[in-house]
Amino acid sequence: MDDFDLPDIERIVADIIGDLVRPEQIGVDKTEPYGKFNYIDENGEVSALEAHDFIVLSREGGYLDQDSFTDIIGLDVECWGKTRSRAISLSNEVTKRILRAETMTHLGFVIDYVEILRGPEEDKGKILLDDRVVLKAFEIHIRVKWH
């Protein structure tokens, strides 16, 4: 069998949606936005930092279909915004971009199929001050890249 690369879904989706936020406002670390939105002093007091957006991308399971050499991927997307309406607006734009990526090539990988699995839903457990987090889950099929 020839050699191939499996897709790095977080990197591919970051390429698709990356211009919606600054490079330092998109990542895979689920705890990173807390430090971007809020400052906790030595007394445990929480104060808000300047408003901005943050997007967290994380692969959640999946498998390689060995008949078609397609990686079937679950992807969770968290859109953080300083207000509920901003988080929803960002999530909507991310959704449109990911859906439009179907049948396109990004970073050398062909995206065969995109489906929304669930969302948008608001994560009430992650609200600090007025920050909001909107979650969306996708299933994405991406062909391997052959050498």
Q: What is the pLDDT of residues 95-125, one digit of tens each?
A: 999 999 999 999 999 999 999 999 999 877 7
CA dist., res. 71 & res. 6, Å (int): 7
Q: Say how far apart CA 49 and CA 133 lie, in whole Å.
A: 16
Would you say domain 4-146 falls under CATH 1.10.287.70? no
Could you give the dihedral angle defined by the CA atoms of residues 106, 55, 138 and 31, in that order, rounded to the nearest 10 degrees? 120
* Distance of alpha carbon 52 from alpha carbon 35, whole angstroms: 12
The predicted-structure confidence for 9-60, as pLDDT tens digits, reads as follows: 999 999 999 999 988 889 887 766 666 666 667 887 765 555 578 899 999 9
| Selection from 119, 10, 114 nearest residue 59 by Cα | 10
- What is the reported pLDDT for 81? 86
User: Taking a C-beta distance cutoff of 8 angstroms, is the pair 88, 134 a contact?
Assistant: yes
72 DSSP β-pair partners: 63, 141
Distance (Å, rounded) from C-alpha 71 to C-alpha 142? 5
With residue 137 as reference, give the H or E element that holds it: strand 132-143
